[in-house]
Amino acid sequence: MLDLFRSLPGGMVFFIVVLFTQAPMCFADAEPPLSREELATELEDIERLTDLLPFEKQNPDFLKQRLLEDNYRLTSDRRSLFGLEEVSFEKRGQHKTIYLNFSFFNNAYLGEYLVNVISYRDDDLGLKLRAVWLQNGGVVSTQNEEEIQVSIKYADERDRYDQQVANGYGALLPVQVPDHLMTGYEYLVSDMYDATVGQSCLIEVPGLWFGQCAIDQLVAADRIDLLENVLNGFNPGARILAARELTRLGVATRPDIQKTINKLVQLNTPIHVSNSRNVVRIKSPQDIRELIKSGDGEAIINRYVARLAR
C-alpha cells in the first residue's frame, strides 16, 4: 500500500489526504435525524393547539387556562382601561418555539390573534408542522411552506373597541374619530403604551417615533379636541407630546389646559426623550416643563449625555 501511495502524482496524494481528513468534519456538522418519539412530540404540540380552533369561539378565560395547562408560559398580560386585554404566550421545545398573541375586548370578544412557530432545524420539520396545522383547520398568512405565521384581525370586534375609545373614559370627552386617525389616536390615549417624545416623525423607526407621527396626524387634521383628550389620556409620553403641541399652537393659555399641564409636570413620571442618536429618561419637573415650553428636547438630551460621560 505504501508503494502504491509513492507511485501516485503529488497532486493526487494531496487530494486523497484532504478527502480523508476533511470528510469526518463534514459528517460531524450534519444534524442527526429526529427519532419517531421526538417528531411525535413536536407535532403533538401543533395538534393540541389546533384543538382550540377556531380561537374566536373560545371563552377567553378557558383559552388562557388551557394554554397554561399545556405548559405555555404567559409572557405578557396587559389590560387597558378601554376594555382591551393583550396576552402573549410562549412554549419552547427542543426543536421549535411557539409564540401566541391574543387581543380580547371586554374579556368576551377576540379582536386579533397571531401565531408564529419557529423551527430550529434545517430539515423538513417546519414543513411537517405546517402540514399538521393546515390539516387540522389552521390558516396561514405566509406563502413559505416551511413555517407557520398567522395574523388575523376581526373587524367587528375592532370596531367595538374603537367605539369604546371614541366614547371616552373618565376625563376624556366623546369624540368623532375618522378611520385614518383612529390607530394613532388609540395609541396616544391608551394606557397600554408609553410614547417616546421625539423631535420629528421618522416612519422607518416606528417603535421609537410613532407617538410623534400620530401627534403630527392630529395637528395636520386640525383636531384640537383630540389633542386635548390625549393631554388628559393615559399614555405618559403622549401627554407630554400633546402638551408641547398645544403650547406651540397657543391653546395652552386656556386656564383649564394650563391647570392640566401644571399637574402633569408635577407627576414625576419618567418620560423618554429621543433624537436620532440617544434616548434619555427625564423626570424632574424643570426638565419636563422646559421640554413642553421650548419644544426642543435636543438641549435636554445633550445635557443628560454630557452628565453621563463625566
Query: What's the CA gap between 13 and 5, in Å, rounded?
Result: 7
Residue 27 is predicted with a pLDDT of 44
Cell of 275: 433624537
Residue 199: the pLDDT is: 79
Instruction: Kindly list the domain boundaries of the chain, sorted by start residue.
Output: 36-154, 168-309
Pairing of strands 73-79, 84-92: antiparallel
Strand boundaries in 51-140, DSSP class E: 73-79, 84-92, 96-105, 109-119
Write the CB contacts of 190 (distance below 8 Å, at least 6 apart in sequence).
80, 81, 82, 84, 165, 233, 234, 235
Q: Give the per-residue pLDDT at 13.
A: 42
Per-residue pLDDT of the chain (310 residues; tens, 9 = 90+): 434 334 445 544 444 444 444 444 444 456 789 999 999 999 999 999 999 999 999 999 999 999 999 999 999 999 999 999 999 999 999 999 999 999 999 999 999 999 999 999 999 999 999 999 999 999 999 999 999 999 999 999 999 999 999 999 888 999 999 999 999 999 999 999 999 998 778 665 555 568 999 999 999 999 999 999 999 999 999 999 999 999 999 999 999 999 999 999 999 899 999 887 888 999 999 999 999 998 778 888 888 777 766 6
Q: What is the pLDDT of residue 300?
A: 84
Q: How many CB atoms within 10 Å of residue 243?
A: 25
269, three cell numbers? 413620571
Question: Can you give the pTM of this predicted structure?
Answer: 0.81
